[in-house]
Amino acid sequence: MIAILKKELWSYFGNWSAWVIIAAFSLIATLFLFFFDNDSNIFEIGMASLQSYFVLVPWLLMFIIPALSMKTFAEEQQTGTLNWLFSQPLKVSELVTGKFLSVWVVGILCLIPSLIYLYTVYVLGVPEGNIDLGMTFGSYIGLIILIAAFSGVGILASSLSQNQIMAYLLGVFMCFIMYFGIEQLASYKLLGGADFILQNIGFYQHFLGFTRGLIDFKDIAYFVLVIGASLVLSNHFINKKK
């Protein structure tokens, strides 16, 4: 598993793909937070808060994480190297977990430049340091867990696909449905009392608690369950390709 993790990380950073993705992610976030005229602009909000960043980032991650995960298995199958991996002395579960961890690590690294935003907001606060650090750090923890969930879904999409384009499109679709689609469907209140259950199936409500600075064991357990289910299903579909 560690060998697979190192191999995947080298494939991301060795050909500049990870650097380009991290740079693009940071540039888009910076433009929306400080330059573009929109509801996420920190200067227009007039508050020493990164709340708009934590609202914006999940939407960016819906496109970034599938871009990272699309090649994990779809490319291996497309190029024929998946059969070579099957011949190596490692379990499929180790292969899936190693690739999942590599996507998760790169996804977390996308958040590192945002520490500059945190410092900027901290300094611009009146008085200086007038920022809710508990809510901010809780939101960062929520993002790290959300990245893991998106990574698991992306790995599953790649294990189901024959090529990278299909893996990317399926990954974006699945992440969108899990984060926003289910929440939006529940908001129509078409199912009566079942809307609450439907709402809690999606990512949004469980991530929302973190953005308020609340680290609830139920939310963590939910994401662990989703990640575990995604990896188990990925393991199943990859085994079927042997």
Domain count along the chain: 1
**126 pLDDT exceeds 80?**
no
> What pLDDT score was predicted for residue 133?
84
With tokens 């540039």, the residue in question is: 27
> What pLDDT score was predicted for residue 150?
97
Largest CA distance in the chain: 62
Question: How far apart, in whole angstroms, are the C-alpha atoms of residue 165 and residue 162?
Answer: 9
Question: How far apart, in whole angstroms, are the C-alpha atoms of residue 194 and residue 208?
Answer: 20
Overall average pLDDT of the 57-81 stretch: 90
Domain coverage including residue 158? 1-241
pLDDT in tens, 198-213: 888 899 999 998 988 8
- pTM > 0.75: yes
How high is the mean pLDDT of the chain?
88
Q: Could you tell me which residue, 129 or 57, shows the higher pLDDT?
A: 57
Candidate from 73-82, 115-124, 184-193, 217-226 with smallest mean pLDDT: 184-193
**18 pLDDT exceeds 80?**
yes
> What pLDDT score was predicted for residue 1?
82
Q: Could you tell me which residue, 144 or 45, shows the higher pLDDT?
A: 144
Backbone dihedral region for residue 128 (phi beyond 0: left; psi -120 to 50: alpha; all else: beta): beta
**In percent, how much of the chain has pLDDT > 90?**
50
Candidate from 6-10, 44-48, 54-58, 206-210 with smallest mean pLDDT: 44-48
pLDDT in tens, 162-175: 889 999 999 999 99
Q: In a 3-state reduction of DSSP, which class is residue 51?
A: helix
> What pLDDT score was predicted for residue 88?
81
Q: Which residues, 6+ apart, have CB-to-CB distance to 199 below 8 Å?
A: 182, 183, 186, 205
Cα torsion at 236, 80, 107, 53 (round to 10°)? -90
Cβ atoms of 58 and 179 within 8 Å: the answer is yes
Q: Which two tokens stand for residue 216?
A: 């609830």
> What pLDDT score was predicted for residue 166?
93
Cβ atoms within 10 A of the Cβ of 155, count? 33
